[in-house]
Structure 1
Amino acid sequence: MILSSRLLVTLFLGLFLLLPSLASAQNFPAKPIKLIVPFSAGGPNDIIARVVGQRMSELCGQPVLIDNRGGQGGVLGTDAVAKSPPDGYTIAITSAGALAISASMEKVAYDTLTDLTPVTLVAIVPEMLVVAANVPAKDAGELIALARAQPGKLNFASTGAGSLPHLAGELFKLTARIDIVHVPYRGAAPAVNDLLGQQVQMAFLDLPALLPQVKTGALRPIAVGSAERAPTAPDVPTTAEAGFPDLRIENWYGMVAPKGTPKEIIAALHGLVTKAMADPAVKEKLSQQGATLIGDEPEHFRQFIADETKKWAKVIKDAGVETAK
């Protein structure tokens, strides 16, 4: 009888402590949500966040305020989320670089899987391999043959050292066993400009950044790094079709919250964002940007981040990429 009484008291206390968070989750959101985008306005990360955030706002009846905090390849804005109160009112949609690559390249102030709480993988955007108009190669086989005939003579552009486009090029070098030289830029726009100016010969970049120039014929597409052909570029083969099934290269963007955010709030955020992503208008707008919406469960996203971290850490090691750690 004494044991039963103690058990009842324990259960009562547990329920009493749980009630505030349950009530908070039921009322969530009760004020505006700040959605940090760790890049400047206009890029793929920003576009995805604005389209999804607008629909979230319509669904929940509270403003979802976009806060662009660029710097250090997405690290600074992501770190701002890690240091925010764990109440669900400061979150981010951030990138593969900030969540799964940067920690292998440099010292960062946060650990993705301990200082942040994954909410969901929002979208995947394939990387496209293109060549400048003066490069004679028409497909992957011809490009590799050209690179092997001129070791160290062909350059590939990226959006910066340690960025996904950089590591995509390094993985291409390893997979195809070729010697090409990395040329880092501060973003996609200057990289594309020098591709158009034929200062560099090739690049892996987010498909949306290349699509306008590919459609006009100013840049020649070689392959996309997705499992299936991109609907916005259906004539471009996948890297697997080009003979490289292990050259799967996709950028991705996911929602995270600060460590310690209550599970009930994470569940509320997950329900809100996945409902927004399921909207046909949202799907249509983002498919035009080459993005595929995902919307997985938090634990699945956590494992996805862990797997991607291991994948790119191995590429960095195997390619001998110089790091700042």
Structure 2
Amino acid sequence: MSNYSARRRRFLISAVATGGALLAAPGLLRAQSYATRPVTIVVPNAAGGGNDLFARLIQPVLQQELGQPILVENRAGAAGNIGLAYARDADPDGHVLFCSSSGMMATAHTHQNVPGNPVDILEHITMLVIGNFTFTIPATLGPKNWQEFSALAKSKPGEFRHGTPGAGANIHLSAELLKLREGLDMQAIHYKGSPDIMTDLLSNQIQMANNAISTTASHIRAGSLVPLFTASQERETEIDGIPTSAELGIADVDRINNWYALHAPKGTPEEILTQVHAATIKALQRPEAVEKATAAGMKIVGDSRESFIARMQADDAIFASVAQATGIRVG
């Protein structure tokens, strides 16, 4: 065999071996991960909640992309503030992430003894999903649309009640904003969760509630609830024919939504935030993610860090405004 043939044979053998190694270890084709030990996503609510669902949804892809186990740790309590404080105090090295909800943006302005405003004490990676609130009333109340309900409520100041799943959070402030903008006098009744709200709404113990469409859709289809509007610029796709607050000329209520997002402790280096953002976007692009978001009445977002920061600042402003106008203080 000539020297050229021998060298060519050795080159081909080496190339095949190298290619096989890359196929066996696809992580070698990616940039080196910053993670040197398991990464924890802190969820400030109990297992089974919205941010828990979406933290676990991105978990397997983050694990694949970062090359370390991804743990979801539920640190519930104090309206999410226990988990928030833990994330605030964690080392800013990318090994602790935080899955928030828009409710925490509201409680930063309504609850006492909070760890701080999420806008200021965290780094912001991306919004995972977003959903709108649909305002409904019991069919037995009588009105068939927003105009009829508004007129009836205004004719009985202080007599009607609306339900919320927690004082001072986003759903509560969304309803308070509607009352401010439309001049409604209604008492807020606070419950432990949506199931209790639905029980009293369906029996006309309360006269209005605002929830995710996934909570109310079956009752709307059955005719036991009347949808007044969706607080949005765009119509709800789950059920046809529900007007938006924008169409009805109701100001600002479309600015309060339900979303879940991913953050890191303040001071986490930019290169780490960039890696986590890229891995998260990849996770959100899977068909499984879209299916689960849709089933929960949500839409995938996966925006840039800059866009998400701007959105947080806008939400912070509207929640601060409503909290100040109503004087709501909890705890």
Give the TM bin, normalised by the shorter chain: 0.7 to 0.9
Change (3 A) 1:234 1:28: farther
Q: Is contact 2:106-2:173 (8 Å) kept?
A: no
Bigger Cα displacement from structure 2, 53-62 vs 38-47: 53-62
Q: d(CA) in 2 for partners of 1:36 and 1:261?
A: 15
1:287 — aligned with what?
Answer: 294
Cα separation, 2, equivalents of 1:76 and 1:189 = 24
- Is 1:165 aligned to 2:163, yes or no? no
| Matched position secondary structure for 2:116 | coil
Moved more, 51-60 or 291-300: 51-60
* CA–CA distance in structure 1, aligned partners of residues 79 and 224 of structure 2: 27
Query: Matches of residues 301-320 of structure 1 in structure 2 within 5 Å?
Result: 301-318=308-325, 320=326
Does 1:200 find its partner at 2:203?
A: no
Confirm or deny that 1:227 pairs with 2:210: no
* Equivalent residue number for residue 246 of structure 2: 240
Distance 1:260 1:124 in 2: 26
Instruction: For residue 60 of structure 1, report the CA deviation from its aligned partner.
Output: 4.3
SS at match of 1:228: coil
Percent identity reads 32
Superposed displacement of residue 196, structure 1 = 2.5
User: Which whole-Å CA distance do the structure 2 matches of 1:324 and 1:162 have between them?
Assistant: 7
Partner of 1:109: 115
Name the structure 2 match of 1:296. 303
Q: Secondary structure at the match of 1:117?
A: strand
Following superposition, the deviation at residue 183 of structure 1 comes to 0.7
CA-CA distance at 1:140 after TM superposition: 0.8
User: Which residue does 1:91 correspond to in 2?
Assistant: 97
- 1:258 matched residue in structure 2: 265
Structure 2 unaligned blocks of 5 or more: 1-30
Residue number in structure 1 paired with 2:32: 26
Specify the alignment match of 1:64 in structure 2: 70
Bigger Rg, which one: 2
Summarize deviations over 1:110-151 as a string: whole Å, max 9, x none: 332332111111111101101123211111111101101111
Distance 2:137 2:122 in 1: 38
Unaligned runs of 5+ residues in structure 1 are 1-24
Q: 3-state SS of the aligned residue for 1:26?
A: coil
Partner in structure 2 of residue 12 of structure 1: none
The question of whether the paired residues in 2 share the 8 Å contact of 1:117 and 1:260 is answered with yes
Letter in 1 for 2:318: K
SS of corresponding position for 2:181: helix
Which of 279, 296, 301 pairs up with 1:272?
A: 279
| Cα drift, residue 153 of structure 1 | 0.7
Distance in 2, matches of 1:213 and 1:264, equals 47
Is the CA contact (8 Å cut-off) linking 2:127 and 2:302 kept in structure 1?
Answer: yes
Q: How many residues align?
A: 299
Q: Which secondary structure state, in structure 2, belongs to the residue aligned with residue 220 of structure 1?
A: strand
The match for 1:8 is none
**How far is 1:310 from its partner?**
1.0
